[in-house]
Amino acid sequence: SDGPHKICNQMSTMTPKIVMFTIDIGEAPKGQDMEKAVHQNNLEEMISELAVAMTAGKIHGAINNNTNSRVVLWSFFEALVLVAMTLGQIYYLKSFFEVQRLI
């Protein structure tokens, strides 16, 4: 049927869903079908814009994941450096306060 359509899902809204559909494009419109063709062209434009937006979203998601991984690795590296400096300072202070005995 003509007009806008809506997909209703009564199941869980927290799980990801995959929606697949096909669009069949017929011959060039004649006379009365001009409005239908304009609507179809608008729909095609909206679909292509959605595809571009989804691609951009995937790219941004990949960049975010990559940045997150680098931040986590850098944090571990900083923690290791901090522990090494602490142990070095303890060793240095211990040797500084140690009494040297000459026998």
83 in any annotated domain: yes
79 in any annotated domain: yes
Total domains present in the chain? 1
40 in any annotated domain: yes
Predicted pLDDT at 102:
63
What is the full DSSP assignment across 12-81? Answer: -SSS-----------SPP-GGGHHHHHHHHHHHHHHHHHHHHHHHHHHHHHHHHHHHHHHHHHHHHHHHH
Asked which of 7-11, 75-79, 80-84 is least confident by mean pLDDT, the reply is 7-11
Can you tell me the distance from the alpha carbon of 40 to that of 36, in angstroms, rounded to the nearest whole number?
6
* Model confidence pLDDT, tens digit, residues 58-75: 999 999 999 999 999 999
pTM of this prediction exceeds 0.75: no
78 in any annotated domain: yes
